Structure 1
Amino acid sequence: MAEKKRRQPSLREAVPGLGRILRRFSHHVRDQRRLLVLGSLALLAEVAMRLLEPWPLAYVIDHLVVQAGAELGSATGAAQEQPGLGTAALLTLCAVGLLAVVALRALASYAMTVCFALAGNRVLTRVRSELYAHLNRLSVAFHDKARTGDLVTRVTGDVGRLQEATVTALLPLVGNVVTLVGMLVVIAVLDPVLGLVVLVVLPFFAVINVRLTRRIAGVSREQRSAEGAIASLATESLGSMRVVHSYSLAGRLQERFGGSNERSLRDGVRAKKLSAGLERKTDVLVGVATALVLWAGGWRVLSGDLTPGELTVFLTYLKTAMKPMRDVAKYTGRIAKAAASGERIVDVLDQRPDLVDASWARPAPRFRGWVELRDVWLAYSPGHPTLRGLDLRVRAGERVAVVGPSGSGKSTLVALLSRLRDPDQGQVMIDGHDLRDLTLESVRSQVSVVLQESVLFALSVRENIALGVSRDVTDEEIEEAARTAGAHDFIMALPDGYDTVVGERGATLSGGQRQRIAIARAAVRRAPVVVLDEALTGLDPQTEGEVVGALRRLTEGRTTFVVTHDLEAARDADRVVWIEEGTVRLQGAPDEVLGVMARAGHA
């Protein structure tokens, strides 16, 4: 019932959608104007050759076939020669002319296809790069709400579908429509009566096309939405296979996947049925138009208003001119799907990052590490602040443990230091500089973060460590960082040493090994401010001891924030800050603060 009540977009509405897509990507299109101009010239040449193609045949019919019939019917049987050229020479000339026109049309069609396809592929390759780069620029808040699989579908599937439809449907359709217009003009000039007969059919085609494409466009959007849900579920489950097996979730996840899969199947079948129906109705209309022209044209030949050759040109034009109508029907589904995919791409590109460099922002100088938070308020949802007027000052080189219950604002506090978030109110300052007055890149490059879950990429160990900085890193710097993290020995024991490619998310390494490579990645940055966000959680005692030593070497002489639930892990800090309900409840020497927390029942 919901589907019946939902208003489906029409073809008229799809055209502005395509216009929105073209406007959004116009800067990429302009870069390909040379190819587009060449393709357009080839298109006009191809249309001209199509218009010329039936005329050699018409000439043969009017001047040879009709003449031969007249000779056979004459009482005298006297031969009448064509002035200037003999019959054999005329036939040869017409055949050669037809061959030349067909060859030139094929050449022009090839040039048009190559130019338009190359331009389209270049544009959409850049669109994919722009989309991926834009997703990387969008804030953590956006990605917290978005579904990863759906975003992957937009980067891969939606751009691919737009690319395919542009090359295989939209560009050929433009050529066919120009051909249709050219042939209708020639038909109208040759014989307005027969031209009117052809034009009578077009409104019927327009009505059928509008009605069916309205439904095709709507179904296509629903299908893309279902495919996005499939991709999201697949990404979530395949990326959490240990949890799936441990909790025997395969059956329940399969049910969810099957539901989305069936929905995509139903929508795909509906779209195919609608497209097929449109094509077959168009075939019937073309047959009706051809029959009308044949009937009316035959009478006009008998009455002497039209030659047999001209009627042949009419029928040839009609057959050729109706091909674009068939193509409109055939390509409507593809174009509707491309429009839906293109709008999904533009929807993401229109998302504005929450965090951007201010117009007055300047690159940060090299930090010493003095950190100050002044009356900081921050809410993830309106009316529910996570930080409530938090004040904190940390000296350069000081090691501060941030403790407190879950949801108290610990991770939010340290996220402010990397400008993953900006405060709604108050100031976050390093060395007296408000971070909002500095560029994002220059701030983030001076803050190293080691998280509880150390994410590695399916690259070599060397490349994973080098990802810590944007500049080129020498092998010596990488090895020094690995030694700082206590990772050099086990890396050298890997099959290819530093060139060993790790599995996705580092699955081929142990938890401790992943964590130490993550520490090496942080160490190669040589950042003056270090954040350890639950960096020891989930490690066994022996591995924890190795990682603790690596973290101690990493943070030596640097301003360090240790976010932890483990109160014992906070004892080697210079100061402990107890945060609760978004504000600093207590801060001071570790024994003092931890003792108060123990007496308060937070041990």
Structure 2
Amino acid sequence: MNLFSRKKEVQDGTQSVDRTLWIRLYQRVGQYWVYWLGGFLCILLGSSTQPLMAYLMKPLLDEGFLGAQKSFIWMIPITLILLMMVRGAANFSGAYLMAWVANKVLYSLRKDMFHSLMGLPDQEFQKGDTGRLLNRFTVDANQVTANATEVVTTIAKEVTIIVGIFGMLLFLSWQLTLIILIVFPPAVFVGRFFAKRLRKINRQNIDVNADLTKIIKEGIEGQRVIKMHDGMATEQVRFDNVNASLRQHAMKIATAEAAMSPLTQWIISFSLAAVIAMALYQGSKGVLTVGGFIAFITALGQIFDPVKRLTNIAAKAQRMMMATESVFKLIDTPKETSKDNKTAIVTPDSEIVFDHVSFRFPGVENDTIKGLNFTVKAGQAVAFVGRSGSGKTTLVNMLPRFVDPTGGQILLDGTPLDEFDIGSLRQHIALVGQHVFLFDGSLADNIAYGVNKNVTNEQIMQVLEAANLKSFVESLPQGLATPIGENGAWLSGGQRQRIAIARALLKNAPILILDEATSALDNESEKLVQEALNQLMEGRTTFMIAHRLSTIQNADRILVLDDGKIIEEGTHESLLKSGGLYASLNAIAQKTE
């Protein structure tokens, strides 16, 4: 394949993608076609008045000033007023209806984007692309809807004006109009050249905007780390580089957009000079009257702004298509799926089997988890112990299907987990992780999050008491209604951890995952919470991860992981007697605790 054919293939592919994006976007606009059509007709009505206003110059000069038509004294001013009233009312109505359509499209796009966002697999969020995701909801979505209706209506409006003016020009003098028509092909060529240039720059600009959002977000969330490690200079350099790149792209866009109009106007100015020369010749021959010439020049003068707006709309259309591509990329990202969407039912006799389970992160050569085989019977408490990076958290994350095995399968009562409806499966699992997330709301809202709305304050206070938080909540002026700030910013680490435990207690799920559930508690609070957890674990299937080995001593089974494999298994006492890795980790823990 030669370079030309390969380049043509890329261009054809790009045009195909563009065509698909146009269709998908305007299908959404078409859902509100009645309002869009009403706005479109109003805009056309307002635009049609412009050529008529130019034509008024001919009777005004040829007959009005000469007194040939006395009625023109009042008819022309009244006609002018009526035209302006129609134009103003039509433009207002058109702008309002188009804004209504644009905001409805924005609403539906953001709704679908957020629905898609919440359905993304956990691994998509682990890519650390938060800045780009946020950018799609703010910059890109606004860019799409701000320009979606404007692009079409501007084209329709300006084309209507240009066609109307050309019709008027032909009526006044076809010879002069012919000169104008000769100029249009070069003007179109200039517009297409800059449109391609702007497309490339705008694609790069979207990426840089996402990088800027990411750096600012990291600066806000990591401000303490930055200050403690004297990283302000480093972060300033990162920000300055991206900020400078953003400025360069903005200047490239501004330069291309600014150059497009004057170049087009320079081309048109040559035709204007030729028009004047031809008009003077026709005037000397008596073919063209003064009024006809002034009307022609007035109409010709009115054509420059529509042509300018049409050339500028190409830049907006390119920005819109880049943003549209970004928005639909999020909407089209594959969601979490189940093979059969069976309803998960966990009974008192349910057991979970790990059958040759392996897992490998994308782009990594070796498996993190390597062919694990074990069975967890109903009501058992199983603890996973091992060095950091041994695969403990990855293993328990497979239960709620935050990650899926890349080899083998996990069975619930003989059925693979990926055949259950994900929502149904997760209803039977409660999770308390080492990284607690709380919503910006009240204590009650966070504890009862996702649970039946009929939960009473008494029930919430019961789980708070079990989590050793009752006295703290009772000391607050607003009690359960107390706001806790963004991600529980007004709470201590231990309080945030205990709220997460209370939330799991209230959910009362038959399968419980405790991933460092007491990591942020002091020794006194840990003992009280551990007692509550021991009560909660009775009759429930529990998976525990803990670096504090004292919290898992009562587990029915302890599995010791190393390099993704189970190297030891037993109770606390039996593993200590074996003198293996568990005994070594326990000895280290006793020295540090």
Kindly report which structure 2 residues correspond to 1:22-37, keeping only aligned pairs within 5 A, or say none: 22-37=22-37
Q: CA deviation at 1:125?
A: 2.2
Find the counterpart in structure 2 of residue 572 from structure 1.
554
For structure 1, which segment, 463-472 or 242-251, has the greater mean C-alpha deviation from structure 2 after superposition?
Answer: 463-472
Amino acid at match of 2:113: L
1:376 aligns with 2:357: yes
Tell me which residue corresponds to 1:487: 469
1:46-65 mapped onto 2 (5 Å cutoff): 46-65=46-65
Alpha-carbon separation, structure 2, partners of 1:532 and 1:477: 22
1:182 CA drift (Å): 3.6
SS in 1 for 2:367: strand
**Equivalent in 248, 251, 254 of residue 266 of structure 1:** 248
Asked if the contact 1:578/1:593 (under 8 Å) is kept, the reply is no
| CA distance in structure 2 between the aligned counterparts of 1:470 and 1:385, rounded to whole angstroms | 40
* Correspondences of 1:59-98 after superposition (within 5 Å): 59-65=59-65, 67=66, 87=70, 89-98=71-80
The question of whether the paired residues in 1 share the 8 Å contact of 2:25 and 2:324 is answered with no
Cα distance in 2 for partners of 1:214, 1:122 equals 30
Aligned with 1:494: secondary structure?
Answer: coil
1:170: how far off? 5.5
1:235 paired residue number: 217
1:329, distance to aligned residue in structure 2 (A): 4.0
Per-residue CA deviation, residues 294-349 of structure 1 (Å, 9 max, x unaligned), is: 33233334334344433333223222222122113444444433332222222222
Distance 1:233 1:314, change over 3 A: same
Write the distance in 1 (CA, Å) between the matches of 2:437 and 2:24. Answer: 34
Q: 1:174 to 1:549 in 2, by over 3 A?
A: farther
- Quote the residue 1:523 is aligned against: 505
8 Å CA contact 2:154–2:310 kept in 1: the answer is no
Aligned residue among 357, 361, 364 for 2:338: 357
Partners of 2:456 and 2:152 in 1: CA distance: 49
Letter in 2 for 1:257: F
Give the match's secondary structure for 1:385: coil
Taking the TM superposition and a 5 Å limit, the aligned residue runs for 1:44-443 are: 44-65=44-65, 67=66, 87=70, 89-166=71-148, 171-188=153-170, 190-353=172-335, 355-358=336-339, 360-368=340-348, 369-381=350-362, 383-443=365-425
Residue 592 (structure 1) aligned with residue 582 (structure 2):
no
Counterpart code for 2:146: E
Residue 490 of structure 1: how far off its partner (Å): 1.3
Report the 3-state secondary structure (helix = DSSP H, G, I; strand = E; otherwise coil) of the residue aligned with 1:508.
coil
Superposition deviation, residue 422 in structure 1: 2.0
The answer to whether the Cα contact below 8 Å between 1:376 and 1:390 also exists between their aligned partners in 2 is yes
How far apart, CA to CA, are the structure 1 residues paired with 2:454 and 2:86?
53
2:436 aligned to 454, 461, 464, which one?
454
| Mean Cα deviation higher: 361-370 or 194-203 | 361-370
1:506 counterpart (488, 495, 498): 488
Q: Tell me if the contact between 1:391 and 1:583 (Cα under 8 Å) persists in the aligned partners.
A: no
Post-superposition offset of 1:472: 5.9
How many Å separate the matches in 1 of 2:89 and 2:454?
Answer: 49
State the 1:418 CA deviation.
0.3
Q: Secondary structure of 2:360's match?
A: strand
C-alpha displacement at 1:474, in angstroms? 4.3
TM-score, normalised by the number of residues in structure 1: 0.88
- Percent identity of equivalent pairs: 27
Q: Which moved more, 1:468-477 or 1:412-421?
A: 468-477
* Partner SS state of residue 411, structure 2: strand
State the shift of 1:169 in Å.
5.7
Report the alpha carbon displacement of residue 372 of structure 1 after superposing the two structures with TM. Answer: 1.5
Aligned residues of 1:468 and 1:522 also touching (Cα < 8 A): no
Structure 1 residue 130: deviation in Å?
1.6
Q: Deviations over 1:150-194 (max 9, x none)?
A: 211121122223333346666334421332234334434553322
Aligned residue in 2 for 1:43: 43
What SS does structure 2 have at the residue aligned with 1:145? coil
Does the 8 A contact of 1:367 with 1:431 survive in 2? no
Q: Distance in 2 between matches of 1:53 and 1:367?
A: 81
What secondary structure does 1:117 align onto? helix
Whole-angstrom CA distance in 2 between matches of 1:339 and 1:501: 42
Q: Give the secondary-structure state (helix, strand or coil) at the position aligned to 1:345.
A: helix
- 1:449 deviation in Å? 0.7
Residue 562 (1) aligns with residue 534 (2): no
Distance between the aligned counterparts of 1:320 and 1:115, measured in 2?
A: 26
Letter in 1 for 2:51: L
Instruction: State the SS of the aligned residue for 2:507.
Output: coil
Q: What is the one-letter code of the residue matched to 1:376?
A: V
- Structure 1 residue 222 displacement after superposition: 2.2
Letter paired with 2:23: R
Provide Cα deviations, 1:495-549, integer angstroms capped at 9, x if missing partner: 4222222222212101110001111222222211010112222433233334323
1:74 maps to which residue?
Answer: none
Gap runs ≥5 in structure 1: 1-6, 69-81
Distance in 2 (CA, whole Å) between partners of 1:439 and 1:95 is 73
The CA deviation at 1:471 is 5.6
SS in 1 for 2:62: helix
CA distance in 2, matches of 1:193, 1:397: 94
Q: Which residue of 2 aligns with 1:77?
A: none
Residue identity matched to 1:563: I
Change over 3 Å in CA distance of 1:27–1:549 after alignment to 2: farther
In structure 2, C-alpha distance between the alignment counterparts of 1:115 and 1:191, rounded to whole Å: 38
Structure 1 residues 34 and 475, CA gap change in structure 2 (3 angstroms): farther
Alpha-carbon distance in structure 2 between the residues aligned to 1:319 and 1:125: 40
Q: State which drifts further: 207-216 or 474-483.
A: 474-483
Letter in 2 for 1:125: Y
1:78 corresponds in structure 2 to none
Q: Are the equivalent residues in 2 in contact too, given 1:367–1:446 (CA < 8 A)? A: no
- CA distance in 2 between partners of 1:581 and 1:262 (Å): 45
CA RMSD of superposed structures (Å): 2.7
What residue number does 1:79 align with? none
Report if the CA contact (8 A) 1:25-1:127 is conserved: no
Q: Within 1, Cα distance between the matches of 2:282 and 2:454?
A: 80
**Helix, strand or coil for the counterpart of 2:398?**
helix
CA drift at 1:96: 1.1
Contact 1:374–1:428 under 8 Å retained in 2: yes
Aligned equivalents of 2:456 and 2:51: distance in 1? 65
Residue type of the alignment partner of 2:481: D
Secondary structure of the residue that 1:384 maps to in structure 2? coil
Provide the C-alpha distance between the structure 1 equivalents of 2:37 and 2:149, rounded to a whole number of angstroms.
16
